Amino acid sequence: MAQAVEDGADILEFEGGLDLPPLDGPVDVVTVLAGDEDFTLAAATVAAMSGARALRASDVRQTRKVVEMVASVLGTRPPARALRALA
């Protein structure tokens, strides 16, 4: 983690827990070029769904929302808001 900070990585911190798989095996690194925000957030979603333990992002706030949404979908954290679309 210290090396990532030294290299200028954006660090994503939040309270609460995510039940992610343990980091026991090899680590795959995927680089997504900055510029296309939708593509970057889609890649972050796939990475989080695949069990990524760390993400580097240019838009940290939106990436955090993506990670929290994935955790809610996977059932490892409650939804931020529970809305019912019943009129």
Query: pLDDT tens for residues 20-51?
Result: 666 677 766 666 666 667 778 888 888 888 88
Q: What angle do CA 19, 45, 16 make, to 5 degrees?
A: 30
| Contacts (Cβ under 8 Å, ≥6 apart) of 42 | none
Mean pLDDT of 11-24: 61
Percentage of residues of the chain with pLDDT beyond 70: 62
The DSSP code for 30 is: -
Mean pLDDT of 65-81: 87
Mean predicted lDDT score pLDDT of the chain:
75
Q: So what's the pLDDT on residue 34?
A: 63
DSSP string of 19-31, one letter each residue: ------S------
Q: So what's the pLDDT on residue 41?
A: 84
Confidence category of residue 15, pLDDT binned at 50, 70, 90: low
Q: So what's the pLDDT on residue 46?
A: 85
DSSP string of 73-87, one letter each residue: HHTSS--S-------
